[in-house]
Amino acid sequence: LALALRRNKLFLFGCSSVLRRNLSVLGSTRSMASKTPVGFIGLGNMGSPMAKNLIKNGYPVIATDVFPECCKELQDLGAQVVDSPAYVAEKADRIITMLPSSPNVIEVYTGSNGILKKVKKGTLLVDSSTIDPAVAREMAVAAEKMGAVFMDAPVSGGVGAASMAKLTFMVGGLEEEFKAAEELFTCMGANVIYCGQVGTGQAAKLCNNMLLSIGMIGTAETMNLGIRLGLDPKLLAKILNMSSGCCWSSDTYNPVPGVMEGVPSANNYQGGFGTTLMAKDLGLAQNTATNTRTPIPLGSLAHQIYRVMCSRGYANKDFSSVFQFLREEEAQ
Amino acid sequence: LALALRRNKLFLFGCSSVLRRNLSVLGSTRSMASKTPVGFIGLGNMGSPMAKNLIKNGYPVIATDVFPECCKELQDLGAQVVDSPAYVAEKADRIITMLPSSPNVIEVYTGSNGILKKVKKGTLLVDSSTIDPAVAREMAVAAEKMGAVFMDAPVSGGVGAASMAKLTFMVGGLEEEFKAAEELFTCMGANVIYCGQVGTGQAAKLCNNMLLSIGMIGTAETMNLGIRLGLDPKLLAKILNMSSGCCWSSDTYNPVPGVMEGVPSANNYQGGFGTTLMAKDLGLAQNTATNTRTPIPLGSLAHQIYRVMCSRGYANKDFSSVFQFLREEEAQ
Amino acid sequence: LALALRRNKLFLFGCSSVLRRNLSVLGSTRSMASKTPVGFIGLGNMGSPMAKNLIKNGYPVIATDVFPECCKELQDLGAQVVDSPAYVAEKADRIITMLPSSPNVIEVYTGSNGILKKVKKGTLLVDSSTIDPAVAREMAVAAEKMGAVFMDAPVSGGVGAASMAKLTFMVGGLEEEFKAAEELFTCMGANVIYCGQVGTGQAAKLCNNMLLSIGMIGTAETMNLGIRLGLDPKLLAKILNMSSGCCWSSDTYNPVPGVMEGVPSANNYQGGFGTTLMAKDLGLAQNTATNTRTPIPLGSLAHQIYRVMCSRGYANKDFSSVFQFLREEEAQ
Amino acid sequence: LALALRRNKLFLFGCSSVLRRNLSVLGSTRSMASKTPVGFIGLGNMGSPMAKNLIKNGYPVIATDVFPECCKELQDLGAQVVDSPAYVAEKADRIITMLPSSPNVIEVYTGSNGILKKVKKGTLLVDSSTIDPAVAREMAVAAEKMGAVFMDAPVSGGVGAASMAKLTFMVGGLEEEFKAAEELFTCMGANVIYCGQVGTGQAAKLCNNMLLSIGMIGTAETMNLGIRLGLDPKLLAKILNMSSGCCWSSDTYNPVPGVMEGVPSANNYQGGFGTTLMAKDLGLAQNTATNTRTPIPLGSLAHQIYRVMCSRGYANKDFSSVFQFLREEEAQ
């Protein structure tokens, strides 16, 4: 029944290729069958809680990381820790990778001890790193040559969402292979969106974050301008939010201290989504735009602004701290 | 009862200084008393339907315009047409001005035949033009010297909303004078927002339109990038709209043909809010930012982009046509 | 003879409307006749040495400033200090003004104790402030109504050049009145350029400084990029300077410490042309561009960058410190 | 003697790593010895005249191109045409490549019929394509594994300079290998600049072109602004060129028709350096900046502007046509 329900929900989102699901009703069905091992490569801030959620859901996990000390906690929870991606590929036919950047992904897949050195035919390879869509497509081609299947499935949601299995996965790959990956995503996240061919998961994530950064900087400079023109910040936020200026950064994550509660601007820009991470994603968006010869004037300027902020003390603050960066009054 | 209701609603919007009202229930209360004349200066595309709505609501209107032919239709509806703003000021103690730009406002108020040459003590002067907040403040000072009261009350909503009395007024001025103006606004609009001291009505409008333009260009370049990366535009819009990239331009006024119905992008960018008008408002926002030494990097770039579009054939298209402007594929 | 020579030189610059002159050969001719008094209003960092050079050249100076203490030194040198611009206008038929910004100029000319309250017919008014060309034109119209003649003559060269009478004057106004002003300019500067009708002096200055700022930021980011790509900064500067990337900021005022000697970058960005002043001039350029609906994408972004720098501790550093602003490595 | 002279000149440029040479005095020395064959891969608009100049100077040339018809003319001049880069590598121990973009370079060097499949130990590989410096470094590493030596040597100067052997080569690679390449460069170009380690030739070229594009757009918008403010364009150019606004685009290649003769702006923007090529180089500069996390706000915006121009009909016009792009008056 639960499975049938799940199938029905697949198409509820209005478009056959999108699904959105609340996992809370499904939890009880998961541990019923004995499960095949899942490989997990990359046990950093994000990868570690994701792998733990697989273990919690009854999956034997075979893990590795370039920093062996990252594997310790997972080993204590029962994961088998091995020496290299190649070993993981020998032992698991579904492998998830969660790595910092494109070069790491290239190394882990195609390096001398990489997955593809030992991958078995039919293995499902899921990369949840945020990387250049072009690299995702290269990995898919390389995997296909070895008879394996590659999907890109970057996430949104941060470390907190990773711990609570509340991530959103944006998935690119062959639709017919999507099912096999889906049961794993649902252990680690709350939403799964099928985006199309390989690389479109990355594309969707980069597009969203680029527009997010534009909305955030735009909100910051608009609020700052309004305040200097004599408007009360709370009132201005209300006017914008009932008008055509409304965006997620103005109504859900307002960057001006005192306007909203429970957001990083209310907490000295601690927590949230760091400026460094935004700069990284904007760099990837920039690369894809340059490579496809797509003009992105505002996205490009947003990128430069976050770049400058990174070197002026904002690297580890939430990306809404751009308000603070632009705000300070000039000395008269 | 209706009045009591209105009073209650005044504060429903959560902040004592903001009111939002649905006028449909209130219509019956308006024509009860005999009404004093209202002056109206500037009978262009916006001013003309606004003045008509005053007549419809039983107000005697005394009107003028530099182009006498603009007054004809209003005259046929019963308005008294006079030769100059000074004459209007002699005959009316509430005057609304709706003019194209700051220099026109300065001329109409302080010129040799301007309002202030003949204004009576206690007259309420309401300027609904969109102009530089600093000019609004200058007019208020000049009016005060003559014993008159000035308010800025720019509108959002366009010609259609003006005809249907659905405009939104953003009002700056003394709160205690606001009531006298309010009954006029409610004949011409559906929402009235009190923003603070003189000039803040203009400030609120410019802030909103600046953020709107940033969101629109950002949406256009993001959608274009996503499409070139292989994403289906409708799917991408859905992903953005359920995510942190969401903004009014992505979810209510999407600039990509085929994504939404009933918006200018579905109709070859006809109608809507013209690129020229957006460029004008961004020019005003730019001026206020420069004068207050406020950095607005994205707003400034948005201004330049609309400026270029104006001279490349987009002047009269809706401002969402920036998608088309950025979209075209390069010849290989 | 000297005069004849001077006349000949007037047209040497290749274009009948431009003159460039080396004053060293002319010094001896100046104190021969008894001279009529010159009014001087605005005795700040620039105005004070300019007025001193008039005194040195034998002109009786009648001066005023809103800050009386600024007049002390000049008084000791023999200047007559009076209370207001109106008094200056009573006593001098050539008046030079050197003020911080447009509002000061408006006040000094048209205020209640302003020059135009008492100006004599035929008086020559020369404004050397850097202001909006539109304000210059307004002042010219107001002066003309009183029978006086107004010229704009902003300077380039800074406090050092003002002291050494090495300023460059860019002059807008009636060509036939230019001669009367010329002998004053030559006491205070080394170059005088006639630019055209009133306002074009300001226009020329703003255009130059806008392009200068673009070249400077461009040089800073290019040098920084090259250094990060492994190029030696001196070598890169040489390559640029023998190639099409060459500009004044790369070959005469290089912003990278260690590349050149005798420039602010060699002295921790002390001295030179302050970031605040550049931001001010860019604000004026921005205003003129907005008012003439001229797209200036790079000029506009340069303006925003200097604006941000002003509030991040660079206000009083030389404008070449943008290299430092953009340079700092991100923490890894 | 000639050789000795050449050695002396090596250091004339003021910095031991830079050499600049006038080849006219050296021509007679070249054909004295019998010469070893030179491989040439990529016979497009640039490669073809470069290869011809090698033949003219007595070098046997072994050539290939993916489009065999490109080889015909060279074959008629005596070149040996072969089927693939691998064959070229079998037969020549100095090979020059001149290809459109990074992917072509990767394919020609590391593809299945690529140079590195058959390269002999000690072969000198010189890539004159304009590509990402990072790709140049990758090729150098790959070449070194095969015992070969790789240099990047992109050129400036266009098709005309290629035909007349007037190119400038910017060279990155091991200094001790530079000599072997030098005699080839001098057959094809007038200047050779040694820039440092592998990749720095590309870096220098990209840096120069980025600053060039910034200067050009800056000049275009400044000239346009000045003209709208009433300045004569020739006079404005003169003022800029004697002032701190001066740059190569204002004084050598002015983009305003009528200001200079013999430049593309005097010939409807025909000839010169096409907008498409500038957009490509800016894309590479952008990539290097993103990868090194270097903020390039103006370079990035210049990139976007040329990107938009490419799709709005300016692709094949000279890059100075940005004046025309920004110039057009808005319809009133």
Of all residues in chain A, the percent with pLDDT exceeding 90 is: 82
pLDDT at A185 over 80: yes
CB contact under 8 A, B304 and C295: yes
Residue A205 known to be catalytic:
yes
Q: List residues bridging with A172 in a β-sheet.
A: A152, A196
Given a contact as 3+ CB pairs under 8 Å, which chains touch B?
A: A, C, D
**pLDDT tens per residue, range A88-112:** 999 999 999 999 999 999 999 999 9
Kindly determine whether residue C315 and residue A331, on different chains, have CB atoms separated by under 8 Å.
yes
Q: Given this model, what pLDDT does residue D330 score? A: 57
Average pLDDT over residues A292-316: 95
Chain B CB contacts of A22 below 8 Å: none
Q: Which residues of D touch B308 (CB under 8 A)?
A: 325-326
B residues 302-321 closer than 8 Å to D (CB)? 307-308, 310-312, 315
Q: Do C218 and D224 touch (CB under 8 A)?
A: no
How far apart (Å, rounded) are the C-alpha atoms in residues D10 and D148?
A: 25
> What is the C-alpha to C-alpha distance for residues B135 and B288, in angstroms, rounded to an integer?
10
Is the CB of C298 inside 8 Å of chain A's CB atoms? no
Which residues of chain A lie closer than 8 angstroms to B156, CB-CB? 243-244
* Beta pairing partners, B169: B155, B192
Domain with CATH 3.40.50.720 in chain B: 2-196
Chain C hits for B307, CB-CB cut-off 8 Å, are: 293-295
Confidence at residue D53, expressed as pLDDT on a 0 to 100 scale: 97
B287/C307 Cβ within 8 A:
no
- Hey, is the C-beta of A295 within 8 angstroms of any chain C C-beta? no
Give the model's pLDDT for residue B329: 67
Given C117, C121, C205, C238, which residue is catalytic?
Answer: C205
User: Would you call C311 and A329 a contact, using CB atoms and an 8 Å cutoff?
Assistant: yes
Per the CB < 8 Å rule, is D330 touching B276? yes
Domain with CATH 3.40.50.720 in chain A: 2-197
**Chain C residue closest to D219 (CA)?**
C211
pLDDT at position C169: 96
The distance of B175 to chain D (nearest Cα, Å) reads 38
Query: Is it the case that residue B24 has pLDDT exceeding 80?
Result: no
Pair C301, B295: CB distance under 8 Å? no
Q: CB-based contact (8 Å) between D331 and chain B?
A: yes
- Would you call D301 and A296 a contact, using CB atoms and an 8 Å cutoff? no
Measured distance CA(C295)–CA(C290) in Å, rounded: 8
Q: What is the pLDDT of residues C268-291, one digit of tens each?
A: 999 889 999 999 999 999 999 999
Cα distances from B180 to residues B2, B177, B184, B198, D239, in angstroms, run: 17, 6, 8, 15, 57
Which listed residue (D121, D205, D238, D280) is catalytic? Answer: D205
Give the nearest partner residue to A226 out of B203, B239, B297, using CB atoms: B203
Query: How sure is the predictor about C179, in pLDDT bands with cuts at 50, 70 and 90?
Result: confident
Tokens of B135: 């000019």
Is D14 near chain C, with CB under 8 Å?
yes
Instruction: Tell whether A145 lies on the interface with D, counting CB pairs under 8 A.
Output: no
Question: For residue C43, what is the DSSP state?
Answer: -
Over residues B31-56, the pLDDT tens digits come to: 445 789 999 999 999 999 999 999 99
Using an 8 Å CB-CB cutoff, list chain A residues near D310: 293
Within 8 A of A133 by CB-CB distance, chain B residues are 229
Q: Please state the three-class secondary structure of chain B as a single string.
A: CHHHHHHHHHCCCCCCCEEECCHHHCHHHHHHCCCCCEEEECCCCCHHHHHHHHHHCCCCEEEECCCHHHHHHHHHCCCEECCCHHHHHHHCCEEEECCCCHHHHHHHHHCCCCHHHCCCCCCEEEECCCCCHHHHHHHHHHHHHCCCEEEECCEECHHHHHHCCCEEEEEECCHHHHHHHHHHHHHHEEEEEEEECCCHHHHHHHHHHHHHHHHHHHHHHHHHHHHHCCCCHHHHHHHHHCCCCCEHHHHCCCCCCCCCCCCHHHHCCCCCCEHHHHHHHHHHHHHHHHHCCCCCHHHHHHHHHHHHHHHHHHCCCEHHHHHHHHHCCCCC
User: Which among A308, A312, A330 has the least Cβ separation from residue C310?
Assistant: A330
Residue C25 has pLDDT above 60, yes or no: no
Just give the CATH number of D2-196.
3.40.50.720
pLDDT in the model for residue C61:
97
- A228 touching chain C per CB within 8 A: no
pTM, two decimals, is 0.88
In chain A, ranges of CATH 1.10.1040.10 domains: 204-327
D235 vs chain C: nearest CA distance in angstroms? 7
**CATH 1.10.1040.10-classified regions of chain B:** 204-326
> D277: nearest CA in chain B?
B332
Q: Is the pLDDT of residue B108 over 90?
A: yes
Mutate to test the interface with C, among B106, B290, B296 (most CBs of C within 10 A): B290
The yes-or-no verdict on residue B230 having pLDDT over 50 is yes
Cβ contacts (< 8 Å) between B20 and chain A: which residues?
242
Residues of chain C contacting B301 with CB distance shorter than 8 Å: 297, 300-301
Q: Which residue of A has its CA nearest to B330?
A: A293
What are the chain D neighbours of A307 within 8 Å (beta carbons)? 293-295
Would you identify the CATH topology of the domain C204-326? N-(1-d-carboxylethyl)-l-norvaline Dehydrogenase; domain 2 (1.10.1040)
Ranges in chain D, pLDDT < 50: 1-32, 332
Residue ranges, comma separated, of all CATH 1.10.1040.10 domains in chain D are 204-325
Domain A2-197 classified CATH 3.40.50.720? yes
pLDDT tens sequence across D3-35: 333 222 222 222 222 333 333 333 334 344 578
CATH number listed for the domain at residues D204-325: 1.10.1040.10
Residue A19: predicted pLDDT: 33
Give CA separation, D300 vs A281, B224, B308, in Å: 16, 18, 18
pLDDT for the residue numbered C329: 67
Taking a contact as any Cβ pair under 8 Å apart, which residues of chain C between 262 and 281 contact chain B?
A: 279
Give the β-pairing of D189-196 and D61-64: unpaired
Interface of B with D in 102-141 (CB under 8 A): none
Task: Give A147-171 pLDDT, tens digit per residue.
Answer: 999 999 999 888 889 999 999 999 9
Please tell me if residue A235 touches chain B, with a CB cutoff of 8 Å.
yes
Average pLDDT, chain A: 88
Q: Does any CB of chain D come closer than 8 Å to the CB of residue C192?
A: no
Amino acid identity, residue A326? L
- The radius of gyration of chain D from alpha carbons, rounded to an integer in Å, stands at 21
What chains are in contact with A, requiring at least 3 Cβ pairs below 8 Å?
Answer: B, C, D
Write down the pLDDT at residue A329.
67
Chain B residues near residue A152 by CB distance under 8 angstroms = none
Position C159 scores a pLDDT of: 87
Structure tokens given for A204: 């969707």
Q: Which chains touch D (3 or more CB pairs under 8 A)?
A: A, B, C
Instruction: Give dist(CA D157, CA D162) in Å, integer.
Output: 7
Question: Does domain A204-327 sit in CATH 2.60.120.380?
Answer: no
Is D143 within 8 Å of D151 (Cβ atoms)?
no
Greatest Cα-to-Cα distance within chain C, rounded to the nearest angstrom: 71
Give the mutation candidate from C221, C306, C308 for the A interface (greatest A CB count, under 10 A): C308
**B273-to-A215, B216, B224, B270, D110 alpha-carbon distances in Å:** 20, 12, 21, 9, 54
The answer to whether D295 contacts chain B (CB < 8 Å) is no
Radius of gyration of chain C (CA): 21
Are the beta carbons of D304 and D311 closer than 8 angstroms?
A: no
Contact between D222 and D47 (Cβ < 8 Å): no
Q: Judge: D276–B330 Cβ closer than 8 Å, yes or no.
A: yes
Q: Among C240, C250, C298, select the one facing D221 at the smallest CB separation.
A: C298
Q: Pull the structure tokens for residue C267.
A: 């002295």
Provide, as residue numbers in chain C, all residues whose Cβ is less than 8 Å from the Cβ of D135: none
Partner-chain contact D307 A301, CB within 8 Å: no
Q: Which residue of D has its CA nearest to B279?
A: D330
Q: Do C207 and D222 touch (CB under 8 A)?
A: yes
Q: What is the pLDDT of residues A245-291, one digit of tens each?
A: 999 999 999 999 999 999 999 999 998 899 999 999 999 999 999 99
- Residue of chain D with shortest Cα separation from C247: D247
With CA atoms as reference, the chain A residue closest to B245 would be A212
Within an 8 Å CB–CB cutoff, is residue C286 touching chain B? yes
